[in-house]
Structure formats: structure tokens, C-alpha cells
Structure 1
Amino acid sequence: MRDSDEFLMPEGAEVVGRQDDVFEMRIAIPSDEHGFLGRQCPSCAQMFRVGSDDYEALPGDLELWCVYCGHHAEHSEFVTQQQLDRAMRAAGDLGTQLVQEVINDAFRGISTYRSGSRSSGFGIEISYRTEPFYPQPLPGIDEEQLIRVRTCASCTLRYAVFGEHRFCPVCGLLPADVVALDAIAAETARLDGLVQLPAEVAATLREQGVFTRIWVDTLENLVGVVETMASRVFHAAVAEAATLVKGKGNIFQRLDDTADLFAASGHSDVRTVIDAPTWQRLQEAWAARHLFTHNDGLIDAKYLAKVSSGTARPGQRLTITEAMCRQAITDTEALCRAIAALTRP
């Protein structure tokens, strides 16, 4: 029986221990050129990456979180398919040598065996010769590369994602303001993408109303971002939050009601934190979103009560522009930062 260090393994793989038929192997998983290691969620199968140095410093019994779906499990379960293929190649090389070892033991001392006689026309001849084993190089890792590096404000882990995410790989659910600001940045990126379309494509989409639909969706998404963030912040800061919001419907969709709720709970009035022009523009953006969500954009008296000026009349359809959306994004970011600051010491 060979010792563990007598097996021929490719570079990057090593048999480090053997106890009877149980083997312990170490397979190196190379990081990318930026020093990041791929991880793949065993639940949703999506990829993310973590800084190798940061990852190595984590406790061995750590439970890792999927940045996308929030599944959390022992960190070794987050192996990627390419990493698994690399490990299986190494295991296959070891298995080949183990089979060879068994055969060698079975035929040790036997070179040729004959049964029967040539004259009878019946006979068995067995011969065996060992062949040298040469391991093949392990397959490399060529996974999706990171675009930008994120650093968790709580644990300082560096990681990279490839889509909308809500969790830190170590800490779990991200703070409400981090999620909100990421979502707002995505809205800016979407508008920037429209600007980069070829002129012919842009003209076709504009004629079909796609641009207008995207601008309306931007306002809808901004209201949703604030609603989700304000709710999380309020419930985390106010012990009796569930009682205070009970029966008040979608209170965090309504700017003044949200401001009143925080103020009544002992926090600053966000309307005094944000300058008056910004608050007025937010009111108008929220009113425009409500108009398109509930009245197909047709102007009514409720909308006119919210806007500060303009030539719009009841029955007309409100016009949404890219400039309006970009201003709403800037104002919403200021609002989210103000709400996050309300409950900080």
C-alpha cells in the first residue's frame, strides 16, 4: 500500500493524508488576476466573487450568504462548476492510481498463467504489465470577471456581483440605505444605456413609446425604493412601528405622511432636512407617478394640487422627459440619505 506522498498528482493537487481507504486531498483553486475567487449559490446558481485574501481570513466554520437570493449555508457549498470540475479531475487521477494499485497487488508475482493444454485445443493465458501513470494538468478557471469591487461597510469584505443584490456574503441582509442607493444607481445606468443606443434603434424605440414607458417606470421604481427603505428604517428604529402603521395602507408611498410618521416618533422632520425646492420636486415626481399608475397619465385635480406651476390642464396627458427622470433620481438620492440619517445617533 502506497503512502499518500507516493501518488503522482498534477500541479495544484496533493494527497495530504491517507487512513486506510480514506484519502485527504488539497486542490488549489486559483484566483483571477484581480485576486478574486468565484462563488456560486447552490440554490439560485448565480455567480458572485469575493476577495481571496479576505476569504482566506474568514473562520473555517463560516456560513456564506448568496448575495442575490439570501440562501446561506456552509461556505464549501458555494463551489462553482469549474472549481468542481477541477477537483473531480484531480480525484479521477487519484482513482486511476488506486485502481492500478489494486491490480498490481492482485497480479504481484504472477507473470504468466496457463490452464489446459495446446493439444486439447483449450487454454487460458493471462499476462499483465504495469504501465506508468502521467497526470494531466488540471483545468484552469475562466469564470465571469468582476466589473467593480464593492466593500461591505460592516465587515469590510470585498466582493463583486453581476446583478441586483441584497446581501453581503458574510453579514447577510445589507443596510436599507445601501440597497436603496444601489437601486437608484441602477436607474441612472438604465437611462445612460438608452443614450448609448444606435440612432436607428433609438428612433424606432422612441416612436413606439418605449422611451416614455421607461421614464414612467423610473418614477415608479423611485417611489418603490423610498417606500421599501423608509419602511425598513422606521421598523428598525421604532419599537412600536407595527402598531403605528397598522391600518394606514401604503403610508411609506406618501411623502408627507412618511415625514409626519418619523416626526411623531421623535425623529427629525425630513422636510426640514431637505431644502424646499427639492421637496417640492419630489412631491411633483410622486404625483406624476401616481397619475400614470392610477389614471394612465391623465391630469386631474389631485395632481394639479401638488404641482407648483405649469400649463397643464385637467384631461391632458402628462409629458414625462428624461431630464425630469434624472432630476427625480438626484432628488430621491438626497431623500434616501436624509431618511437614513434620521435614526442615526
Structure 2
Amino acid sequence: MTDTNFEIKIPTDNDGYILFKCPKCTNYFKVKPSDVEDDGILQIFCPACGLSSENYLTDDIIELALSKVGNYANNLIFQEMKKWEQEFSGSGLSFKAGKKPTEEYEVPIRSTIEAMNVRLYQCCARTAKIKPLLEMTSSYCPFCGVKDFGTE
């Protein structure tokens, strides 16, 4: 059996930021794809709780991935059942594959949360979009984890 890869394109907002969700505190924030892909950034930290995580996938991305994998698996199973149907014909045994399963709708991903402000983190000279409340109080730099109080 060959490996199968699925590509899911995550859209950016009008300013070029992608939406992330912290799995630990469920806070949403946005960073630029170029910052995420930069080899100099070893991990991403949540601006709200300051903790790092393996992934920051939003519920929309997870739902789309599960739909894609489910549709693919159902298709493979149906194709295998059709092969069995042909193999058993004329052998005294009967096997019917039935109808092809209907595919689950794959909901496209949209960059939805817009009520965020761009914050420049002096420590890394990079920007991220965070909630206004975090900007008024304090936040952690998503790129190095240093607490930033926003004072110049």
C-alpha cells in the first residue's frame, strides 16, 4: 500500500496572517506563514498563556482533514468491495458491494476572526495579531516566549 498525502491550504487574512488556536487555553492568534516556516523559529508560543504546543490547528482545519480522510477511506473500501464482487461472481458465492457511499461535504476553511490587532514584538522584531485585551495588558511573544508588557 502506498502512502497518501493530503494537502490542506490554510487561507490568510487580508494582511497575510494565518489563524492559530492554542490547544491549552483555546486562545486565537495570528502569525505570518513565513514566520512559522522560518528555520530560526524552533517553536511557537501562545501569546495568551505563553505555553508552546505541537500544533495550533483550528477546529475548521481538523474537521476538513477528518472529512478528507474519511472520504478517501470510504472510497478505498468501496473499491475493494467491488473487486470482491467480481472475484466471487460465478463461484457459487454471491457478494454485492452495494451503492457507493456518499461523500461527506468538505467545508472550506475561512480566515474568520478579524477583531485582532497587529502587535510588534521588539524581542524578535516580528509581528503577530492578538486580541485587543492582550494588547492592552500583556502577552507572550509567539516566537521566543518572552513576556511583553507593551511598554516602549
For the aligned pair, the TM-score class normalised by the smaller chain equals 0.7 to 0.9
Q: CA deviation at 1:137?
A: 4.5
Aligned-partner Cα distance in 2 for 1:104–1:60: 50
SS at match of 2:4: strand
Task: Give the secondary-structure state (helix, strand or coil) at the position aligned to 1:24.
Answer: coil
Aligned match for 1:149, one of 118, 126, 139: 118
Structure (1/2) with the larger helix percentage: 1
Give the equivalent residue in structure 2 for 1:38: 19
2:57 corresponds, among 68, 71, 79, to 79
Where structure 2 has 5 or more consecutive residues not aligned to the other structure, the ranges are: none
Contact 1:83 1:141 in 2 (8 A): no
Q: Percent of aligned positions with the same letter in both sequences?
A: 22
Contact in 2 for aligned 1:86/1:138 (Cα 8 Å): yes
Output the CA distance in 2 between the equivalents of 1:96 and 1:61: 38
Q: Using CA pairs under 8 Å that are at least 6 residues apart, name the structure with larger relative contact order, 1 or 2.
A: 2
- Does the C-alpha gap of structure 1 residues 139 and 167 become closer, same or farther in structure 2, counting only changes over 3 Å? same
Long gaps (5+) in structure 1 = 1-19, 116-124, 182-336, 338-345
Give the letter for the 1:51 counterpart. Answer: K
The CA RMSD over aligned residues, in Å, is: 3.0
Residue number in structure 1 paired with 2:149: 179
Q: 1:150 Cα shift?
A: 1.5
1:90 to 63, 68, 73: 68
Shift of 1:24: 2.9
C-alpha displacement of 1:158:
2.0
CA displacement, residues 282-332 of structure 1 (integer Å, 9 cap, x when unaligned): xxxxxxxxxxxxxxxxxxxxxxxxxxxxxxxxxxxxxxxxxxxxxxxxxxx
CA contact (8 A) 1:111 1:127 kept: no
Alignment-derived partner of residue 166 in structure 1: 139
Match for 1:27: what amino acid?
I
| Structure 1 residue identity aligned to 2:59 | Q
* C-alpha distance after superposition, 1:254-303 (max 9, x if no partner): xxxxxxxxxxxxxxxxxxxxxxxxxxxxxxxxxxxxxxxxxxxxxxxxxx
Q: Aligned AA for 1:66?
A: C
Conservation of the 8 A alpha-carbon contact between 1:30 and 1:141: yes
In 1, distance between residues paired with 2:56 and 2:115? Answer: 17
Amino acid at match of 1:171: C
Report how many residues are paired.
148
Report the residue type matching 2:73 in the other structure.
G
> What per-residue deviation string (whole Å, max 9, x for no partner) do you get for residues 105-157 of structure 1?
32233447767xxxxxxxxx543467497674443224311432112223232
* Higher gyration radius (CA): 1
Return the letter of the residue paired with 2:126: L
TM-score (norm 1): 0.37
Distance in 2 (CA, whole Å) between partners of 1:143 and 1:71 is 23
One-letter amino acid of the structure 2 residue matched with residue 87 of structure 1: A
Runs (4+) of structure 1 moved beyond 6 Å? 132-135
Distance 1:73 1:132, change over 3 A: closer
